[in-house]
A = this chain, B = another copy of it.
Amino acid sequence: MADVQQALDFVRANGERYLSELKDFVSIPSISTLDENKPDVQRAAEWVAEQLRSLGMDKVQIMPTALHPVVYGEWMGAGKSAPTVMIYGHYDVQPVDPLELWTADPFKPEAHDDYLFGRGVSDMKGQVVASLKAVEAIVRTTGLPVNIKWLVEGEEEIGSEHLEDFIKKNKDMLKCDFCLNPDAGMIAPDKPTITTGLRGLAYFELRVYGPDKDLHSGLFGGALHNPAQALIELVAGMHDRDGKIKLPGFYDNVRKLSKQERKDFKRLPTSDKELKKLMGVPALWGEKKFIPAERIGARPTLEVNGLLSGFTGQGSKTVIPAWAMAKISCRLVPDQTPEETEKQLRKYLKKNAPKTIRWELKNLHNAGAALVETDSPGIQALAKALETVWGKHPYFKREGGSIGSVILLKKYVGAESILSGFGLPDDNVHSPNERLHLPTWYKGIEAFTHFFYNL
């Protein structure tokens, strides 16, 4: 029996246990942005370390950073002539609010029909477990044909803030030929996908301050600039009527799409109608000169992620609020940088903020944009694996999200990332009722198993 067949048989025989272990992992509410979940984040790191130990990995360590730790482990037994593959993952998850929109407890994962529901099942605990379980199947049967290094971080959902410092400090330990990063998704269950581009991110909190306390709108309204009004004027002014972003110089460094790139985008299978349904919106929107896939994959955005000011409870309160807050973030494309974006935003605010209020801008999260080459041996091995399992050549796409590690590994270790994964567009990642399509997940474990033998 071929090596890969032994490992695939192991995967099939252990599918139920794999799912049960994924449920254990998802039950840990490892929300990295909330202070109160810090012990849970630590528990999730320990869960991953324990898995690596049980796979016989060496040097398994929970390595501290300034906030949440990185889990590391390696197995170098394939020798110097074999390639060394890093496997990247993150064990942290997004917050769950609005909690009332979940139909079940986000941290008591339950399977219904073909789906497992819970925060992080798709993004990306399911993907981490898929990699662990493919490696387990190989370790328990034929043994690994390649060297492996694991890098599983706990700050991806808050911008991998301390990963740069960690990778910089440990670049020798992290040396590898390339990195398998399963934090990108698929276009559809029948369309295996490799992601070749990612947008960057610059995330801000803007606060506008007016009176030194909330005021009665009857007693004072008309004589002062309402900070909520000033805030929305400022933020609304960041787009023109056609949806173009008005920060000074914002588009200057946006790399133009080549003819071939525009062709590739047009070939992607998601129709406008499907996208509309997926998002649940009455109509699509965006830059008219670009099709929606280009707007998401290759064009920068500026989004309002949150608004808060004054009285937001039931009924009415006639108050002029003392302050107003907006969370604002830009998705960036090559060759924009978060640092430039912050400068442009500050310039815009300095120019447009009226003297009748005071403002404060905090940068909460930065990540660069990335494009990867499609003809590397790693991508070819993965493409072949996907084709074996799905029976069709994978789609190459550019995705709108941001993954900090991709930039950092390139910069400090010289390693390209191979972006793939088995999440689906309707998995509700970052949203209520996040879910994982289990048939696709099982196929994914098999594809990763093939991948290691293909190398």
**In the complex, are the beta carbons of A214 and B296 less than 8 A apart?**
no
Q: Which B residue sits closest to A331, measured CB to CB? A: B221
- CB-CB under 8 A for A305 and B314, given A214-B432, A223-B279: no
- CB-CB under 8 A for A229 and B224, given A312-B307, A321-B306: no
For A258-301 the 0/1 string (1 means CB < 8 A from B) is 00000000000000000100011111111100001001100101
Task: Provide the residues of chain B in CB contact with A228, threshold 8 Å.
Answer: 304-307
Task: Provide the residues of chain B in CB contact with A114, threshold 8 Å.
Answer: none
**In the complex, are the beta carbons of A223 and B296 less than 8 A apart?**
yes
A85 at the interface (CB under 8 A from B): no
Separation in Å of the A7 CB from the closest CB of chain B?
Answer: 32
- A157, A231, A318, A364 — which one has the most chain B CB atoms within 10 A of its CB? A318
**In the complex, are the beta carbons of B221 and A296 less than 8 A apart?**
yes
**In the complex, are the beta carbons of A281 and B225 less than 8 A apart?**
yes
**In the complex, are the beta carbons of B327 and A311 less than 8 A apart?**
yes
**In the complex, are the beta carbons of B203 and A316 less than 8 A apart?**
yes
Complex: how many Å from CA A390 to CA B9? 96
A309 at the interface (CB under 8 A from B): yes
- CB-CB under 8 A for A216 and B306, given A97-B313, A210-B281: no
A383 at the interface (CB under 8 A from B): no
**In the complex this chain forms, how many copies of it are found?**
2
Selecting from A18-26, A423-431, A443-451, the interface stretch reads: A423-431
Complex: how many Å from CA A317 to CA B201? 12
**In the complex, are the beta carbons of B329 and A318 less than 8 A apart?**
yes
For A18-61 the 0/1 string (1 means CB < 8 A from B) is 00000000000000011100000000000000000000000000
Complex: how many Å from CA A48 to CA B232? 43
Q: How many residues of A contact B (CB 8 A)?
A: 99
**In the complex, are the beta carbons of B309 and A306 less than 8 A apart?**
yes
Which chain A residues (316-333) contact chain B, with CB distance < 8 Å? 316-321, 324-325, 327, 329, 331
Which chain A residues (187-222) contact chain B, with CB distance < 8 Å? 199, 201, 203, 205, 210-222
**In the complex, are the beta carbons of A319 and B285 less than 8 A apart?**
no
Task: Provide the residues of chain B in CB contact with A223, threshold 8 Å.
Answer: 275, 279, 284-286, 292, 295-296
Separation in Å of the A264 CB from the closest CB of chain B?
Answer: 17
**In the complex, are the beta carbons of B281 and A211 less than 8 A apart?**
yes
Complex: how many Å from CA A224 to CA B277? 12
**In the complex, are the beta carbons of B304 and A401 less than 8 A apart?**
no
Binding site for B on A (CB under 8 A): 33-35, 94-95, 97-98, 101, 157-159, 185, 199, 201, 203, 205, 210-226, 228-229, 231-233, 235-237, 239, 275, 279-287, 292, 295-296, 299, 301, 303-321, 324-325, 327, 329, 331, 354-358, 364-365, 399-402, 425, 428-433
Complex: how many Å from CA A213 to CA B312? 20
**In the complex, are the beta carbons of B286 and A400 less than 8 A apart?**
no
Contact of A365 among B309, B316, B425 (CB under 8 A): B316
Contact of A307 among B308, B357, B400 (CB under 8 A): B308
Complex: how many Å from CA A168 to CA B137? 81
**In the complex, are the beta carbons of B316 and A310 less than 8 A apart?**
no
- CB-CB under 8 A for A316 and B305, given A201-B218, A223-B279, A296-B223: yes
Separation in Å of the A360 CB from the closest CB of chain B?
Answer: 13
- CB-CB under 8 A for A95 and B329, given A281-B356, A304-B228, A356-B285: no
**8 more A-B residue pairs beyond the given contacts A216-B431, A229-B235, A307-B307, with a C-beta to C-beta distance below 8 A:** A219-B399, A222-B287, A223-B285, A228-B306, A306-B312, A307-B308, A307-B324, A317-B327
Separation in Å of the A106 CB from the closest CB of chain B?
Answer: 13
When A and B form their complex, which 8 residue pairs have the shortest distance between CB atoms, in order from nearest? A212-B280, A218-B401, A222-B295, A33-B315, A228-B304, A232-B232, A225-B285, A306-B310
